[in-house]
Structure 1
Amino acid sequence: MAAPDCEPSRAIAPDEADRLFSVFGGYRKLAVAVSGGADSLALMVLLAEWRHRTSCAPELSVLTVDHGLRPEAGGETEMVAGLARAQGLECRILKWAGDKPSGNLQAEARDARFALMARALADDGGDALVLAHHLEDQAETFLLRLARGSGVYGLASMAPVAERDGVVLLRPLLGIAKARLAATLAVRDIAWCSDPSNDDLAFARVRVRALLPELAAEGLTPRRLGETAARMGRASAALDAWVRDVATRHAQVHAAGPVRLPLAALAAVPEEVLLRLVSRLLRRVGGQAYPVRIEKLERLVGDLAGKPGAQATLAGAVVRRTASALVMWREYGRSPPEPLVARGPGAWIWDGRFAVSTTTVEKVAVVARADMVKRGDAAPAIAMPAGWPAQAFDTAPCLLRDGDAPYCPGFGTAAPPASVHLSLLPLFEEAELPGNSLNSLHSRTT
């Protein structure tokens, strides 16, 4: 059957694959997420073939997850591993162990899959994770977000290059129709698996998918929706550049996490820029993986604008309006940061906010400052930072190692223990700000 936007179901030719993957030449090592469905299998095969004929191609490996949700899942991951080996690629089968949630299963499974793959990517020293999201996926995402009343950022949908929890995500197939991926496998006589949940109308995405042919008949083809999402992406990038400029010039970021924005600097920016700036800071301060919903954000900013001295909690962060600034910090009460215990050399992300690395073989712990004080551990013998609310530092990271005084970044001039690094993650990641079309003509270099 033809794709909903009436594109011919033709296989992807080598020259087209070369164009799709040309920007990957500057990476050293990539992992491909493969489920066993037609989309990700086609991506894996195309990447393997591209690598064989491309001298500057990076190392490739395959990651596949057995969710344990269906009896067939184990056999499907073994099939993926066998096909990967036939393509000359190593494959790791990752298992989602433990009890499974009774509700919101698709979202929980996606999060579990990402967590497993992110850990495997880090263990293998990979640079990025390649995903098989295609044109219809982009159209569905656009429609789902439109139904939720998303603004320009939500309607930008999925980006070709993005970052999540420190993992770079690459989506080279966003402009490719699903039928073409199936055709790519068919001409190679490669079979694929089908997940029954992809046809279960209990899920909103499946219901939206069922509407695509009717929408296409009215001109709302996946191609048209994908193009609109791309235009929203360009608008989002422009706003992000503005937001970054305002944040760079005016945001006062404490090394322990809190952020202060002078009200005088905010008075001159358009409301859309203000909303995006607050959203960005809330996400970083609260250590959240996703931005807050636009209607909640609008309500928060409206409340703060009308009530001098107001304070609110949103997305894991506290926001207080003082006489001269908005002050934000990570909330402690509802969901305190979990301690991190590091044994041996390695690198970790603590509480979604801080990068921690160590080269020592000794045990090192990172805990919230309020937890350290509650437990009766020796508090740092240094004064609290001046000019900030005291509770803004309840969730400040404190680094503990036997024989060393506790260390909290930005508290006085104390330095962290030797061989240990602790730093706040940046407000912005480079992958969040794509360049213009002229820049995209050049391959990524490292």
Structure 2
Amino acid sequence: MTTDLADRFAAALDPATKSLAVAVSGGGDSMACLDLADDWAKRRGVHLRAVTVDHGLRPEAADEAVHVTRVCAARGIPHAVLHWHWDRRGNLQASARQGRYALIGDWAQDCGIDTVVLGHTTDDIAESFLLRLRRAPGVDGLAAMPSRFERHGVRWVRPLLRASRAELRRHLTARGLGWVEDPSNDDPRYDRARARALRTALEPLGVTTSGLARAATALRDGAEALDWAVSRIAEDHVTVVGGDLLLERLDDLPAELARRLTLRALRVVGGAPPPRQAALTAIHSGLVQAGQHTLAGCLIRQDGAALRIAREPAVVSGLRMDTTEPWDRHWRLQGPHAPQFQIAALGDAVALCPDWRQTGFPRDSLRASPAIWRNEELIAAPLAGLSNGWSAEWTGWRDESAPSGYGN
């Protein structure tokens, strides 16, 4: 066991971790991660599992999963193989990545696992940096992948971001452990393979893997500093009106802070994946002033000098649940709860609320607001002036604490 490597691995994990899983493909990075995790878990009495996702995209993948199963069986590590199938929609690589997280996240929750370890390395940071350059991204687009994050109800940790791919293979060789080489790693048809070739070609110019990784890590630090700043300026620039957010005096802010504040508001209200930076640039260039626009599950329009971000009614039109549960993530209703009542969007039934104009809320904001229903009978619409003993509280901005960056 390489002591320094083991120490770095241990330092990245929460000592309070009770159950751990390792995502293992069979490649050198993940096999080294499995070995380090096995040692860490045994020394601390932590239950360890391993999981492999077969995307069904390469004929070799099934054999690689069998190899991992055999290695795990020899070490007494429970191992699960999950299967993902592409629906032929969207970008294949992005879909596979999202599907992998979803599958593993659901599996981990079912197994009572609180932490999943990923074997990404310094090389992955450098290659991702090069791949993202072609999109002309902002700070977040070039920032290093985070060392830990929450997704699908699970904590994910990358304890080997300060280790190189070569270092992990030396570790495996010293331990007498093997691994499987994915042939696509050297296939120029794949973006990641081309990024690896480019990384090698840049080294004679002094652009090294470690240098690229340091640059990406510095950008990650910068992104976190910007998020910190957004959290503090929000109090002076965001007003909560019902479930809408009014972003005020954006012109007083540096462009990047205005974009990040808008992005955070969109994510809080809409709960959707972050939009591309070009879409936000269009908003702040004044295109949105021409009317009402939809983006990331939200309606966006000018409201005097402010930018109003509201929930898009169509997105919540089919959302229905018990009155005691949070509705659309952030709404909590209080009133005479009864089994026959449910929360659903008010929708076009806003016309049944005679005082809705006196509330001051835009009609579309009210259409996306929560109402109390008994089957198809409207019982109450608190925001539309039809309370009947019910009140509604939107806790979105108060509960929001996650960073506002453009993605992991």
Please classify the TM superposition score into its range, dividing by the shorter chain length: 0.7 to 0.9
Matched, 1:293 2:276: yes
- Partners of 1:312 and 1:318 within 8 A in 2: yes
Q: Which residue is 1:391 aligned to? A: 364
Structure 1 residues 268-283: aligned runs within 5 Å:
268-283=252-267
Q: CA deviation at 1:110?
A: 1.2
Q: Which residue is 1:24 aligned to? A: 14
The structure 1 residue matched to 2:300, chosen from 319, 324, 332, is 319
State the identity %.
36
Structure 1 residues 95-134: aligned runs within 5 Å:
95-97=83-85, 100-101=87-88, 104-134=91-121
Matched, 1:89 2:55: no
* Inter-partner Cα distance in structure 2 for 1:63 and 1:398: 43
Q: CA deviation at 1:246?
A: 1.9
Which of the two has greater helix per residue? 2
Under a length normalisation based on structure 1, what TM-score does the superposition of the two structures give?
0.74
* Inter-partner Cα distance in structure 1 for 2:23 and 2:367: 38
Under a length normalisation based on structure 2, what TM-score does the superposition of the two structures give?
0.81
Aligned pair in 2 of structure 1 residues 405, 319: CA closer, same or farther (>3 Å)? closer
SS in structure 1 at match of 2:252: coil
Aligned pair in 2 of structure 1 residues 422, 340: CA closer, same or farther (>3 Å)? farther
Deviations 1:27-78 (A, max 9, x none): 33333222222111211111111222246xx543222212222333333223
* Inter-partner Cα distance in structure 2 for 1:93 and 1:414: 48
SS in structure 2 at match of 1:24: coil
Q: Which residue is 2:244 aligned to? A: 258
- More RCO (CA 8 Å, sep 6+): 1
* Inter-partner Cα distance in structure 2 for 1:215 and 1:198: 18
**Structure 1, gaps ≥5 residues long:** 1-11, 357-361, 433-446
* Inter-partner Cα distance in structure 2 for 1:424 and 1:13: 46
* Inter-partner Cα distance in structure 1 for 2:391 and 2:159: 43
Q: CA deviation at 1:124?
A: 2.8
* Inter-partner Cα distance in structure 2 for 1:279 and 1:33: 31
Q: CA deviation at 1:271?
A: 1.6
Aligned alpha-carbon RMSD (Å): 3.9
- Partners of 1:161 and 1:168 within 8 A in 2: yes
Matched, 1:140 2:127: yes
- Partners of 1:152 and 1:236 within 8 A in 2: yes
* Inter-partner Cα distance in structure 1 for 2:206 and 2:340: 61
Q: Which residue is 2:390 aligned to? A: 414
Structure 1 residues 20-419: aligned runs within 5 Å:
20-22=9-11, 23-54=13-44, 58-97=46-85, 100-101=87-88, 104-164=91-151, 166-253=153-240, 257-263=243-249, 266-289=250-273, 291-303=274-286, 307=289, 310-333=291-314, 336-337=315-316, 339=318, 353=329, 368-370=345-347, 386-396=359-369, 412=387, 414=390
Q: CA deviation at 1:298?
A: 1.7
Q: CA deviation at 1:89?
A: 2.8
Aligned pair in 2 of structure 1 residues 271, 78: CA closer, same or farther (>3 Å)? same
Q: CA deviation at 1:158?
A: 0.6
Matched, 1:428 2:404: no
**Structure 2, gaps ≥5 residues long:** 333-338
The number of residues matched between the two structures is 393
* Inter-partner Cα distance in structure 1 for 2:358 and 2:187: 54
Q: Which moved more, 1:214-223 or 1:30-39?
A: 30-39
* Inter-partner Cα distance in structure 1 for 2:32 and 2:377: 53
* Inter-partner Cα distance in structure 2 for 1:155 and 1:244: 22
Letter matched to residue 17 of structure 1: A
- Partners of 1:18 and 1:50 within 8 A in 2: no
Aligned pair in 2 of structure 1 residues 364, 304: CA closer, same or farther (>3 Å)? same
* Inter-partner Cα distance in structure 1 for 2:382 and 2:150: 25
Q: CA deviation at 1:142?
A: 1.1
Deviations 1:291-342 (A, max 9, x none): 322233222111158x4x7433333322111114211123345xx3585688
